[in-house]
Structure 1
Amino acid sequence: MKERVDFLHTLGLTIEDINNYPLVLGCSVKKNMIPVLDYLGKLGVKRSNLTEFLRRYPQVLHSSVVVDLAPVVKYLEGMDIKLNDIPRVLERYPEVLGYKLEGTMSTSVAYLVGIGVSRREIGGILTRYPEILGMRVGRVIKPFVEYLESVGIPTLAVARLIEKRPHILGFGLNDRIKPNAKFLTEFGVRESFICSIIAQYPEIIGLDLGPKLSKQLSFLTSLVNLTHEDFGKVIEKMPQIVSLSNAAVVKHVEFLKTCGFSETQVKKMVILCPQILALNMDIMKLNFDYFLKMGRQLDELVDFPAFFTYGLESTIKPRHQMVAKMGLKCSLAWLLNCSDSKFEERMRYDTIDVDEMETNSSFDMNSLMRPMNNESDSEYDDDEDSDEEYL
């Protein structure tokens, strides 16, 4: 007994840890503990992570390497998890070593593939979030999928969200996701926009959202006199606003004021295009400098603040030069708010048809079917342990 206690102490375990799972004292050091630890070490589990590993899953010390552990590792490799990623998976979720191969693990993966998750993405999904292997389909995964479908997100779009952000499956449906959807409606978001908000920014359903919304509304009200109704519109267009740092918002508002916009104008611009509060400041300055060279009035930017979101060299400058060369006069929206092919078509017109104007559309759910753009020029709080990015 003393030999076993002393050995467990060398692994970093305390008397309290042993008391939490006293059956560990039934393990032989030479026959059980050392073979298991040697196997984990050969797989690549770090010695520095071993203590926490054993605290979370001390039952591993009872396991047989040949009968229990090796088959699970082989199964994980069969799920396209790379061998050098196995240690990362085990360190993050050691409990996986105790699951039956034909039980929860196989059914959860089969269900995900069944709703449209790409089979070739399974390895990466499980590497990033192996907890999926322990989730029961009927209790966790299926209710999650069905809820997102109920708010208007198509099944295939849910599958794409899981591919890109598998950790969202870990957000509690009843204690986090549904309450957060209710919070959004309480802060002015229309129910019909809940689906696009989740699709744009999936992490929002896992945040401690109520306090964040209250804090951000109070801040924006004091800064640009945003009303409760205005705040709902802003969230619908850019849900990431809930995670923008105050410092970033202040910096962007101050920049707009130095450009000559009044507080009332800034408020209108924020409501029309809240993305201007998260754009790269250097890009905004370059765009504004060129706007002045275009000889247009500031009121035009107030009506179309999305001007700041377009690429200067790729879109704004060449289109402006083409229009100027033809001697046409048009609004910023007519100039920019269309595809390149549509713009080329417009350049063949004799006159400008204002009725043909394209309006700013809401989030396109079909965009989930396209590869994610990983570039980010935004400035979010870094106090959330999530993959936040400005789209």
Structure 2
Amino acid sequence: MEEAIIAFCSKNGINFHKPTFYHLPSHNLLSPTRRRRLKTHFRNLSSNTSSISVPASPHFSKPSKIPKLLQSSSIISPHPHSQNEFGEKMLYLESIGIDFFSLIDDYPSVISTSSLEDIKSTFHYMRSLGFSSFDFRRICGMCPEILTYRISDISPVFTFLLREANVKGSDLRKVVNRRPRLLACSVGERLRPTLYFLQSLGITEVQKYTSLLSCSVEDKFIPRIDYMEKTMGFSYRDVVSMVRRFPQLFCYSIKHNFEPKFNYFVMEMGRDLKELKEFPHYFSFSLEKRIKPRHLSCVSKGVYLPLPVMLKTHETMFRHRLEVCFSSSPPLTTSPLWWSTSAHNYLCKEI
């Protein structure tokens, strides 16, 4: 691998200092496969690069051809120390299984805004809390900013989750894996205000909905409350009741979820808003795969089923209830059991 990198740098006029740039401790974890991949990657870079102009410096004798990951001035530096640390970061991240080249393409500031010691400290800190190497790689993949943080930046988040959000220690790993973005949030500016807002709505068991804590009250929660009031026609009290029953409502898109499903509920299904108030989980079901097919099945049979019965039940149970309602006979109008024109629908509700 060293020969490939040296040849590439020499060809493009980049003066890297081999003795310190490539030195790693004896416990380096790079597997032979990862070493071969790095070697192949640098060979490809040396033969497939685009021409760009580079400012004159002691390390560039002419405009060079350099890859995307080396085009940043924060990476190619006149200071040997910066060049050395770049290489050490690259090899260390590869040694713990993080794809360096994908990372640097998507989030190049990792190189300029983090030190190798901070990255190592963060990795070992996460391991001490019970996170596996796989967990850390996954978290970095979903929230690469973690690699630019120090322990002092993320430890307050864990303290907040345990002490204020009442997350159990045994659930901490699951909570962060489900929503890595939590670690990139400020406790004072985002997590704590969101917690207080959810609690003000009467959502007391916030530890069950920790993914909401990373959301902005102003940008995400308030617009959904306004839409449910002004467009759907619910009172504020009704909206609060609905989000208490189903806090995940705050996660759904207004344009791609609320609008099409509400329009179908009103225009095609012709149902009362009271049903949505009692069963806000309606918005969690697929419009095309669950809501429409089952509604049309009910219409074809001339049967009315409550929303929970129509949507929550397994397909086999749904078909069974549909057939029972369809094959049963409504009471005669002269019967004491007949009390309204919807008696048959009432019977179906009770099944």
TM-score bucket of the superposed structures, by smaller chain: 0.5 to 0.7
State whether residues 116 and 159 of structure 1, in contact with CA within 8 Å, keep that contact through their aligned partners in structure 2. yes
Asked whether the 8 Å contact 1:276–1:309 carries over to 2, the reply is no
What does residue range 8-157 of structure 1 map to in structure 2 within 5 Å? 10-11=53-54, 29-31=57-59, 41=67, 45=69, 50=71, 53-54=72-73, 57=74, 60-64=77-81, 67-82=84-99, 84-88=101-105, 91-95=108-112, 99-100=115-116, 103-137=117-151, 139-150=152-163, 151-157=165-171
1 CA distance for matches of 2:280 and 2:80? 55
Q: 1:324 to 1:243 in 2, by over 3 A?
A: closer
In 1: Cα distance, 2:181 partner to 2:235 partner: 33
Structure 1 contact 238–275 (Cα < 8 Å) conserved: no
Question: Which of the pair has the greater relative contact order for Cα pairs under 8 Å at 6+ separation?
Answer: 1
Which of 281, 303, 308 is 1:275 aligned to?
A: 281
- Give structure 2 stretches of 5+ with no counterpart: 1-51, 330-343
Provide the identity percentage: 11
| Letter in structure 1 aligned against 2:294 | N
Please point out which of 249, 272, 282 is paired with 2:258.
249
Aligned partner of 1:213 in structure 2 is 221
* TM-score, normalisation: structure 2: 0.65
Shift of 1:256: 1.8
Which sections of structure 1, spanning at least 5 residues, go unmatched? 1-8, 14-27, 336-391
Query: Aligned Cα RMSD in Å?
Result: 3.9
Aligned-partner Cα distance in 2 for 1:248–1:80:
37
Q: Is the 8 A contact 1:168 1:206 kept in 2?
A: yes
Task: Give the CA deviation at 1:65.
Answer: 7.2
TM-superposed deviation, 1:286: 0.6
In structure 2, relative to structure 1, the CA distance for the partners of 1:149 and 1:227 (3 Å cut) is: farther
Structure 1 length normalisation: TM-score?
Answer: 0.59
Q: Partner amino acid for 1:317?
A: R
Q: Deviation of residue 220 (structure 1)?
A: 1.3
- Equivalent pairs counted in the alignment come to 281
CA deviation string 1:121-156 (max 9, x = no partner): 32232244332233222x322211121223222234
For 2:296 and 2:129, the matched residues in 1 are separated by: 49
Rounded Cα–Cα distance in structure 1 between residues aligned with 2:57 and 2:173: 46
Q: Which residue of 2 aligns with 1:197?
A: 209
Task: State the distance in 1 between where 2:349 and 2:119 align.
Answer: 51
Query: What letter corresponds to residue 281 of structure 2 in structure 1?
Result: Q
Describe the shift of the 1:225–1:272 C-alpha distance in structure 2 as closer, same or farther (beyond 3 A).
Answer: same
Distance 2:109 2:78 in 1: 17
Distance in 1 of aligned mates of 2:166 and 2:349: 30
Partner of 1:226, secondary structure, is coil
Q: Tell me the distance in 1 between the aligned counterparts of 2:284 and 2:190.
A: 26
Tell me if structure 2 keeps the 8 A contact 1:126–1:133: yes
